[in-house]
Amino acid sequence: MKPVSLIFTGLVLATPAHADLVFCNETGVKASVAIGYVEDGVWTSEGWWGVEPFDCTPVVTDTLKKRYYYWRATNTHGAFDTGNYGFCTRSKAFTIAGDHDCEGRGFRREKFAEIDTGEAVSHIVALTEAMAPAGTSDEEGPAHMMQGFLAPPGTHGEPYSIRASFESCSYQGNDLLCSFLADGWRYVASSADPTDPHFFGDFQYLQSGTLVDLSGDMIFYADDIAQITIREWGEAVSPSVAPPGSLEGLHEFLQGFWISDDDSAYAWSIQDNELQEFYDANLMQRSYFELAPSCAASNGQGPVIIAWPDPDEGDGPTCYLVLHTDPNSLGLANVVVGRDLSFTYAN
């Protein structure tokens, strides 16, 4: 860990030759920074730049031509102490012209602090522990996110951030492809694309159905498949998620062939994240599913199976509330149509 004084010494010495607006993070947790300014009479906001713990990042890399800038910084615990100047923001990378009607335009209106550069050609903003949200000083970095190539969001496509269910990894020629399911989409990362290769080694040890947080860029998407790069990932950690291992254990329990207790001609076959429904041995419907603590129709109850039909004809997913999981039996409630289901494990 480099002493903060050394970081600042280097920056001050470099300032005359490299005019810019720099943010230095003096905390042990990665920060995200957004700025605001007036451009041709229009109040404009931009974000986000990542600033690693005990490191510095320039957000304006040219001679400062404005006396006043505005800034907002956040980390995993919340927002740094800031001022009362309102600008529009959103979670993904953004450049937003205008500071009016933020909510009406699909954005958030949040508070920024003012920077008075004194008309200097460069300026440094220090993000200190005293300014940081509560809990920051208890960490030496993000608790669960692994950071890879940190090219700015939007470098390789549209920025995204999702919570997804890991599906599997497989080789296609010499390239390793790893897939994740979320909201009816299959997100696929390839070792041929700009994602840290160490991530693929980690993914091969994940259990199918593991909930993970992913962020990066979408290179392209079509139908229900998106090709992605991954900038950060980690196993999901959130108070709203069931205790660690429970959803993964349910995913493992579901694998196999299940026969309906009400009608023996009706059966489910579950392999990885694919659900096939049969009647008299004829395939009726194929769906791709994810497990979640709850769904909109379950009124906060869970866990649930959210199944997206393939092909998706616009009807949306079906949500099954898991009622019980005995050693060889499974009880569910289709909370969308209000129907209970009971199955016995057949193999």
**How do the domains of the chain map onto residue ranges?**
4-138, 146-235, 246-345
Beta-carbon contacts of 125 under 8 Å, excluding residues fewer than 6 positions away, are 21, 22, 23, 24, 71, 115
146-235 is a CATH 2.40.50.140 domain: yes
Residue 251 has φ and ψ, to the nearest 5°, of -60, -45
Strand-pair partners of 179: 168, 188
Q: Which pLDDT score is estimated for 196?
A: 81
* DSSP codes joined into one string, 232-280: EEEE---TTSPSTTHHHHHHHHH-EEEEESS-TTEEEEEETTEEEEEET
0.85 surpassed by pTM: no
- pLDDT-derived band at 263, boundaries 50, 70, 90: very high
343: confidence class by pLDDT, cuts 50, 70, 90: very high
Measure Cα distances from 256 to 90, 162, 171, 267 in Å.
42, 28, 24, 11
CA distance 138 to 67: 36
The string of pLDDT tens digits covering residues 191-219 is 888 888 878 877 877 777 788 888 888 88
Fold assignment, 246-345: Lipocalin (2.40.128)
